[in-house]
Amino acid sequence: MTSPNDESLRSLWRQDSDALEPLPLAAVKSRATAFNRAIGKRNRREYIAAAFVTLIFGVYALILPDMLLKIGSLLVIAGGFVMVWQLSRRTSQPDPGAEAADVRAYYRARLVTEERMLASVGLWYIGPLIPGLAVFMAGLGSQFGSALGFAAFAAIPALVILGIWLLNRRAAAMLREQIARLDAATEGE
């Protein structure tokens, strides 16, 4: 059952063609520039976070007494290095020459590269960290007195990992929408 307000909202949504209209070239250039900046900032944040993880788990590997905690810490560090290497390898790199030649194709290629990277974040970003975290958590599990306490503690990283995966999947879907809009603009010309 719909109220009159629901119907008016639906009609407004149907009439809103701005979301489906092609992007003008100036808007594409502006979005490409903003996208380049956003990718650069994101990569810098990830590199800083990886350095922080390396520092913290390096200290853990040195000071924690349990062998599982030490091995888990070293595996997390190795997973962090793999993740950073994959980020560097998978992220789209700006090419000013390509941008000048055809800004729409350049922007679309960057969007496609980022969409693929975000859609597969579970494999290259989360995956390398899981073995180290599992071993580290197993080491912590031996320190807990109850299985319920350990399960509650282990739920925290599991929820963070799930959140990272879901946010990246959502971002990939948003990039697919932008790609479709760019494709519609190209077909309309």
Exposed / middle / buried, residue 94 (Cβ in 10 Å: 0-12, 13-18, 19+): middle
**What pLDDT sits at residue 99?**
59
Cβ–Cβ under 8 Å, residues 104 and 185: yes
**What pLDDT sits at residue 169?**
95
Closest CA to 135 of 61, 68, 54, 53: 68
H helices present in 16-146, as ranges: 25-63, 67-90, 96-101, 103-119, 121, 130-141
**What pLDDT sits at residue 119?**
94
Instruction: List, run by run, the mean pLDDT of 10-residue segments along the chain (189 residues).
Output: 45 44 72 87 95 98 95 97 94 67 84 94 94 91 78 88 96 94 76
CA–CA separation, 138 vs 83, rounded Å?
22
**What pLDDT sits at residue 91?**
85
**What pLDDT sits at residue 96?**
66
**What pLDDT sits at residue 18?**
47
